[in-house]
Amino acid sequence: MVTVNLGMLHHILDHVYGAFMHRTKISPPFFSRGWGGAKLDLLERMIKQLFPEAAENWPPSLIQPIWKTVWETKTACLREGVFKTPCDERLLSALPPESHTARVAFLTPKFVPPQKMACVVHLAGTGDHTFERRLRLGGPLLKENIATMVLESPFYGQRRPVLQRGAKLLCVSDLLLLGRATIEEARSLLHWLDSEAGFGKMGVCGLSMGGVHAAMVGSLHPTPVATLPFLSPHSAVVAFCEGILKHATAWEALREDLAVQKAAMTLEDVRERMRNVLSLTDVTRFPIPKNPNAVIFVAATDDGYIPKHSVLELQKAWPGSEVRWVTGGHVSSFILHNGEFRRAIVDGLDRLQWKESPS
């Protein structure tokens, strides 16, 4: 009888998928245009100032989404909204014009007072250009009186710059810019859900890169929100320098860009520079969220993109948070474990107090 190590199969699936997506010539690598020059310097400075600025700049300026109804049934309604990104002038001038308008999908139960409902903001993983996958994740939660707000990332979907192929960001600065703008937009959406829509509880979740951004948003929020990172590393360093995406990175183009300033650059010098830049995305440096008990990480046992140590570093940095393991790799868990992600959303929200206790 042949015994098959399922964990190894899941891990191999990640590598086969990664090889197909990232080592073939089907699409260009990440960062084929280099580091981003002055934009990278600006983003590095801005991210270093993020913690004091996040506290000082609360509440954010109120967004004013313009809504249209996509469909409506007896029990639920899906609307799509657009609003001007709340990013300040420095970020706005760095963002491509296509990304200046933010887009959201908003799926809500009908006939339930908002103060007796929760809403979770779903942030995009790498390559998630549409609303559909996240609406499928959130849809079954309607019966639990949990609404879903899906944000289209800058650089993705209709916000993608014209020269960018798929999710392959052109410059390293674009990755930091995408993250910083997503944080600003998600914070503004949480503020809108609280102060304008009047929801009784709120959360933020995301898968992979979206989970890193969700952890940052939950960390910086001034009141307790459920924070639910799924299949997420503690830092982009892990994804681009350790996991499969290191094979999808234009290291030679990055070396040539650096060599303009300093002639004798080895590939190891380039990787070290990348580690330094992406260390700005290390969530363990962020403040502990206001209610760490409402932080639930869902991680995969055999993830070819995210090593186990990375998930455990985050749990260690945020005492009181919980890690739940699902059997599988990055790709298979993304497909097979939506039920576990939904359970984490429900449980994370259950650990929060209602803003106004339902009568």
32: CATH: 3.40.50.1820
DSSP-based three-state secondary structure for 102: strand
Three-state secondary structure string covering 180-234:
HHHHHHHHHHHHHHHHCCCCCEEEEEEECHHHHHHHHHHHHCCCCCEEEEECCCC
Query: Is 355 contained in some domain?
Result: no
**Main-chain phi, psi angles of 198, to 5 degrees:** 75, 30
Query: Is 272 contained in some domain?
Result: yes
* Cβ–Cβ under 8 Å, residues 261 and 294: no
pTM of the model: 0.90
State how far the alpha carbon of 52 is from the alpha carbons of 27, 57, 82, 327, in Å.
39, 9, 29, 39
**Burial of 143 from C-beta contacts in 10 A (0-12 / 13-18 / 19+):** exposed
Query: Is 330 contained in some domain?
Result: yes
Cα dihedral 234/107/178/222 (nearest 10): -60
Which residue range(s) make up the domain with 90?
Answer: 6-350
Query: Is 287 contained in some domain?
Result: yes
pLDDT in tens, the chain (359 residues): 433 455 555 555 544 444 444 444 557 899 999 999 999 999 998 888 887 778 778 888 889 999 999 999 999 999 999 999 999 999 999 999 999 999 999 999 999 999 999 999 999 988 778 899 999 999 999 999 999 999 999 999 999 998 898 889 999 999 999 999 999 999 999 999 999 999 999 999 999 999 999 999 999 999 999 999 999 999 999 888 887 788 889 999 999 998 877 767 888 999 999 999 999 999 999 999 999 999 999 999 988 778 889 999 999 999 999 999 999 887 787 788 889 999 999 999 999 999 865 44
Query: Is 1 contained in some domain?
Result: no
Query: Is 221 contained in some domain?
Result: yes
Residue with tokens 């868990």: 333
Query: Is 284 contained in some domain?
Result: yes
Total tally of structural domains belonging to the chain: 1
d(CA 64, CA 75): 25
Query: Is 48 contained in some domain?
Result: yes
